[in-house]
Amino acid sequence: MSAVEAVFVLLSLVALGSALLVVTTSNLVHAALWLVVTLGAVAGLYLVLAAEFVAWVQVLIYVGAVVVLLLFALMLTRAPTGHTDDLTVRRALPAAIVAGLVALLLAVTVVAGFSDVRIDLDETVVGSAETTGRTVFTMWVLPFEVLSVLLLAALVGAIALSKREAT
Amino acid sequence: MPLWWPLLVASLLFAVGVYGVLARRNAVLVLMGVELMLNAVNLNFVAFDAQLRDVLHGGQTFALFVIVIAAAEIGLALAIVLLVFRTHGHIDVDDLRSLGESGLDELDRPRGRA
Amino acid sequence: MSTLVLVMLVVPFGTAAVTLAVGHLSDRTAKAVSVGGSGLGLVLAWVVALSHLGEAEPLQHVYASTATVGPAIELAQYVDPLSAVLLLLATTVAFLVQVYSLGYLEHDPRYPSYAALVSVFTGAMATVVTADDLWVLLIGWELMGACSYFLIAHHWELGDARAGAVKAFLLTRTADLGLLFAIFVLGERYDSYRISTIVTAVAGSAPQVDELALPAVLLIVAAMGKSAQVPFHTWLPDAMPGPTPISALIHAATMVAAGVFLIARMYPLFEATPLSLTLLALVSAVTMFLAALYALFSDDLKRVLAWSTVSQLAYMFGALSAGAWSAAVLQLLAHGVFKALLFLAAGSVVHAIGGATSMDAMGGLRRRLPTTFATMTLGFGALVGVVPLVGFFTKDAVVHAAYVEAADGRVVWPWIAWLLVGSMVVTAAMTAAYSLRAWLLVFFGPEPAGARIEPVPGVMTWPLVVLAVPTVLGGLAATNPDFLGPGHDEPLSVATSVLLTLVVLVTGVLVLTAWRRRGRDLWRTVPVPHPTVDLAWRELLVRPVGRLALLARANDRDVIEAYVDGAAASARALGWLLRRSQTGSIRLYLTVVVVGATAVAVAAGALG
């Protein structure tokens, strides 16, 4: 196993571990913080897979904005800090079974389907800012524009929804 | 590296996200589960992009787009969670039954939970 | 001429349709249409009838013929003197009743349907008397029964009216089975449903008692039902809650006479079967006595007249059984006229005192209702058989014929024939008694206390006067019955006339003496028990029919409706089942989405 692969395995374990903690911890704020770790680890995985720009966007948007937004939401909904008992449903077994089944299904499919395919990391084009920028603004410009409109709509929608009624 | 490594990681991450969505009671925690799922999908995209060495860089571009959409979605979702908190006083998903058959009276009696 | 007959038959039905269509527009429209139509029908009937009296050739015409498995059913007509005189009677009385109803039902909101039904009835009666095909006759026969049912129940808010209508319908309908099966047997035997064909065949061949006894007896059963003879006699008095003009038209002059007409029309069939005539004689002997007995003890004016009708019809049947065809037909005509007169006059009395029909509410009305008094007196006189009114001549002919039959013994068994004669004489006495009693109770004595007596409108007295004319002058026709066809001549016997007149006089003296001595309480009223015949009918007919009706209702409710309700219930149940999934739990929804998406993925993978 090369160094890259080892790093990959390590980061995967971190990501999976912290993801498990996100969904099982009984402290709301801790869950958000473990989410940060997960997202950061995933960003690392992107870097390993030569998706540079995506990794930094991940850190910027996901860790920087989305998690902050989640923390704001926790604050605004008076989330209890510290240990809370009833964050998970009492009977979590069905959910666990479903999740297990999904995992099994996907894992089996994936491993069986791509067991002899390899990623050649030396030959990949690094997804630098320049490469990504050129691709997006020449070949993917229409989806890009549509997405900006989508963001605008989401922005307007969020403001409209959360406006307090004039009493 | 074998392709199935990142794919397996993505599958397991996705499964964890499913568990988070189905087993958590707080709405914000459910959204966190959704984020995990989206990240798993992104990992999938990037892995395939690395393997296929696409000229259009479709995988990475799509990963970018998914991040954008996730951001838009989380903004709106949290606005809705806020509204739910305002009307009901809590964001416990299990107690939001007004979509049910006899759930319309729920709106009249919001539970006062801190 | 055959076209004219067809038009004459169509006019009443057309009038009924028009009355129903435009009658609601205004009172005057309904009245104008119905009386006008009736008048038109009357004119046509008179034209047709007058050209077929006496020696005229009978009209025979076939309009259409349908091929069937057996003999053909044809729209055939036969107009001979018998049809002619009955047409005259039926349409004239119907027209007078329509005019009379203008006053009697002046403020009745159901007038259009009433007038239409009377028109339909008139058309049906005309159909019956001019029919040559037995099926056409049956249709007219049943249509008359249906009109009778509807008209008796004209005031359907009264329980009595509804019950009376159902009773009349059930009893006559049961008896009509006789007619139906007789048609089957005759059609089978003579391979034709034409009356003229059958009658000619019967008259031409040697009498075959065995084969003809069955249809003859069946026809007698039908006639007994329609004409309210024992054991079907109880429906006629119970039909009195119907409007009085209807009682006059249907239950005195025309429909109940249809039974007599049927026997008269197919007379050769009965002449060939002495058994049937014997049966007829027995039935009429019993009926005339029994009915007169009921009339004697009845306190309701209309019931007295109803029982009187039953009794007089028995006279006609008695004449027929004794072989006196023309005497029977003359009695039918005379009775139609004076009974209609009596009923209409009774209606006038009832209308004047505000609707009560019990004789306890009447008295001393001769000063207040002079025309009614005069005409009703003539009517009662004809009923009793006072010379020189028409009833005297016809009753005399009937009794004489019965006596001749008993003495010479041609057809009917001797002791039954003597029973018939005796019954006729005794009934004549009872007729005089109850008629005189009714006359005295209504028109003499003190006026009822606190009575408001309304004057009778002109439209109601005018028909009474018209009917009084043949009542008085009809004797001329009765003594010269040539118009009934060649060879009809009824000799009158002086002995019989004197006997009857003596009987009437003695009875009259006895009744008047009782009146002087006891006032209104002429004789101790025997409480008349509910006719036992009715009890028998209740068990045999009404109960089974009731059970059948319950069965039909149960079938409708528990079987058919169960399917309908079941469809609704199953839809509701399915909805309930599907609603189980609407728990409102977001968790459940998400789970289902995830599991579903996974399943779809698996399926896509497996299939693809």
Question: Using the beta-carbon criterion (under 8 Å), do C594 and A102 form an inter-chain contact?
Answer: yes
How many domains does one find in chain A? 2
Are A52 and A132 within one domain? no
Per 3-state DSSP, what percentage of chain C is helix, strand, and coil (rounded to 5)?
Answer: 75, 5, 20
Q: How many CB atoms lie within 10 A of CB C75?
A: 16
Element containing residue C78 per DSSP (H, E): strand C73-79
Give residue B114's pLDDT. Answer: 38
Are A58 and A125 within one domain? no
> Does any CB of chain A come closer than 8 Å to the CB of residue B53?
yes
Give residue C96's pLDDT. Answer: 92
Residue type, C65: S
Mark which residues 51-70 of A lie under 8 Å from B by CB: 51, 53-54, 57-58, 61-62, 65-66, 69-70
> Does any CB of chain A come closer than 8 Å to the CB of residue B89?
no
Residue type, C86: L
Are A75 and A95 within one domain? no
CA distance C411 to B14: 115
Give residue B72's pLDDT. Answer: 95
Are A99 and A52 within one domain? no
Contact residues of C toward B, CB < 8 A: 579, 582-587, 589-591, 594
Are A30 and A103 within one domain? no
Which of A4, A26, A70, A122 has the most B C-beta neighbours within 10 Å, making it the best mutation to test the interface with B?
Answer: A70
Task: Give per-residue pLDDT as tens, A88-108.
Answer: 888 888 889 999 999 998 899
Which domain-ending residue is among A87, A121, A136?
Answer: A87
Are A104 and A54 within one domain? no
Q: How many CB atoms lie within 10 A of CB A10?
A: 13
Element containing residue C77 per DSSP (H, E): strand C73-79
Tokens found for residue A113: 């389907």
CA distance B29 to C349: 99
Residue linked to tokens 């009921």: C294
Q: Which among C195, C235, C241 is positioned nearest to C215, based on CA atoms?
A: C195
Q: Give the CATH number, domain containing residue A23.
A: 1.20.120.1200
| ipTM above threshold 0.95 | no
Instruction: Quote the distance between the C-alpha of residue C454 and its chain's center.
Output: 30
Are A81 and A105 within one domain? no
CA distance C311 to C286: 9
Tokens found for residue C423: 């019954």
The three-class DSSP label of residue C539 is: helix
Domain that holds residue A69: 1-87
CA distance A101 to A105: 6
CA distance C359 to C592: 88
Q: How many CB atoms lie within 10 A of CB C269?
A: 23
Q: Is the CB of residue B92 less than 8 Å from the CB of residue B64? A: no
Give residue C528's pLDDT. Answer: 64
Q: Where are the beta strands (DSSP E) in C373-493?
A: none
Beta bridge partners of C133: C194
Are A58 and A131 within one domain? no
Instruction: Quote the distance between the C-alpha of residue C390 and its chain's center.
Output: 23
Q: How many CB atoms lie within 10 A of CB C550?
A: 10
Q: Is the CB of residue A57 less than 8 Å from the CB of residue B67? A: yes
Contacting residues of C for A95, CB less than 8 Å apart: 591
Q: Is the CB of residue C274 less than 8 Å from the CB of residue C412? A: yes
Give residue C525's pLDDT. Answer: 67
Which of A67, A86, A106, A139 has the most B C-beta neighbours within 10 Å, making it the best mutation to test the interface with B?
Answer: A106
What is the widest separation between alpha-carbon atoms in chain C?
A: 120
Tokens found for residue A124: 């990949």
Tell me the pLDDT of chain A averaged across its residues. 90
Which domain-ending residue is among A87, A106, A137?
Answer: A87
Give residue B54's pLDDT. Answer: 81
Tokens found for residue C414: 């001797």
Instruction: Quote the distance between the C-alpha of residue C119 and its chain's center.
Output: 15
With a CB cutoff of 8 Å and minimum separation 6, the contacts of C316 are C257, C260, C284, C328, C331, C332, C335, C398
Element containing residue C59 per DSSP (H, E): strand C59-66
Tokens found for residue A121: 């990391």
Q: Which among A3, A26, C373, A49 is positioned nearest to A15, based on CA atoms?
A: A49
b/e per residue C516-537 (b: at least 16 CB within 10 A):
eeeeeebeeeeeeeebeebeeb
Contact residues of C toward A, CB < 8 A: 587, 591, 594-595, 598, 601-602, 605
pTM of the model: 0.69
Residue linked to tokens 């787009």: B65
Which domain-ending residue is among A45, A64, A87?
Answer: A87
With a CB cutoff of 8 Å and minimum separation 6, the contacts of C336 are C89, C93, C252, C253, C254, C257
Question: In terms of CA atoms, which chain B residue is nearest residue C583?
Answer: B100
Element containing residue C74 per DSSP (H, E): strand C73-79
Are A138 and A118 within one domain? yes
Please, what are the averages of pLDDT over each run of 10 residues along chain C (608 residues)?
Answer: 85 91 84 90 89 79 81 85 90 92 87 92 92 92 93 90 91 91 89 85 70 86 89 88 89 84 90 86 91 89 92 92 87 92 92 82 83 90 86 86 80 81 91 91 80 79 88 81 70 81 88 82 67 79 88 88 90 89 84 87 80
Q: Give the DSSP per-residue string, C247-283.
A: HHIIIIISTTHHHHHHHHHTHHHHHT-HHHHHHHHHH
Give residue B61's pLDDT. Answer: 94
Q: How many CB atoms lie within 10 A of CB A156?
A: 10
Are A74 and A1 within one domain? yes
Tokens found for residue C181: 């099966």
Are A92 and A25 within one domain? no
pLDDT in tens, chain B (114 residues): 899 999 999 999 999 999 999 999 999 999 999 999 999 999 999 999 999 888 888 999 999 999 999 999 999 999 999 999 998 888 888 888 877 777 555 555 555 443
CA atoms within 13 A on the CB side of A100: 6
CA distance C403 to C425: 10
Are A2 and A77 within one domain? yes
Contacting residues of C for A96, CB less than 8 Å apart: none
